[in-house]
Amino acid sequence: MSAAMASPEPGSMIAFRDHPGNIGLGDLYWDRVLRCAMSLRDAVKKALPTGVVSVVRSFLGRGLEDEQWARTVMNPRVEELVRSLDPSTKSALEISGNTWSRRANFKKFKALDYPDYDVCAGPVPGEKFDVIIAEQVFEHLLWPYRAVKNVYDSLNAGGAFVISTPFLLKVHNYPVDCSRWTEIGLRHLLAEGGFPMENIVTESWGNRACIKANWPRWQVYQSWRHSLKNEPEYPIVVWALARK
């Protein structure tokens, strides 16, 4: 795709893992800690009987399951939206990520990362999909409207776009952090990119305690300690399902 992405202007679609040199040492440290915790979790889950894992989860909370507090409500809701699309019959593309290869049983799955694919530069060349997913990506794009239009053009007729983004979350330059949207803002961004307004569903979650907890670092969720109460005036994360 666009070779010009090497300059500051074109760096339109950039995920933090593609540019480790641009991550602050503190963020890099905690990212590695979280990845190590995820690997340990997987090993424990394989080694222990299901009943024991359930007891440990109930005592320590879902933090053992690799979830940031800010995403604990959003993640299962997004999974519900994806399951409603009947993934076993659909082809899917995940932009700047590869988690949905294991989170849903898509008939066909593909993951594309920058610089192999720049969603701001154009539609996926020579290929269309039934479902496109972009989680925690669009806040890092310099040209989000262009990106939505390119997603729209990369979908088959009747296809669906699943997107999640932060709102009241600290700036995280991986390597740039450009935009935030409320539910109504995200809805209009998607509509401006081509999706019919009546085909867009948005949701959000957040509370003041979680906002504050994420100031020093991304807070891992612990059920005995952290509230999942939603305060609508303080959304931390916003997500949407838009159908073509």
Cβ neighbours for 197, distance < 8 A, ≥ 6 positions apart: 187, 191
Domain-wise residue ranges, the chain: 3-243
Q: What is the mean pLDDT of residues 172-194?
A: 96
pLDDT in tens, 4-42: 333 333 344 443 333 333 334 444 455 455 556 555 655
CATH architecture for residues 3-243: 3-Layer(aba) Sandwich (3.40)
Residue 51 has a pLDDT of 53
Residue 43 above 80 pLDDT? no
3-class secondary structure per residue, 32-67: HHHHHHHHHHHHHHHHCCHHHHHHHHHHHCHHHHCC
Tell me the pTM. Answer: 0.76
Whole-number Å distance between alpha carbons of 117 and 131:
17
Query: 49-73 pLDDT, tens per residue?
Result: 655 544 554 444 444 445 899 999 9
User: Most distant CA pair in the chain: distance in Å?
Assistant: 53
Contact 88, 107 (CB under 8 A): yes
Local confidence band at 243 (pLDDT 50, 70, 90 cut-offs): very high
Tell me what pLDDT residue 28 has.
46
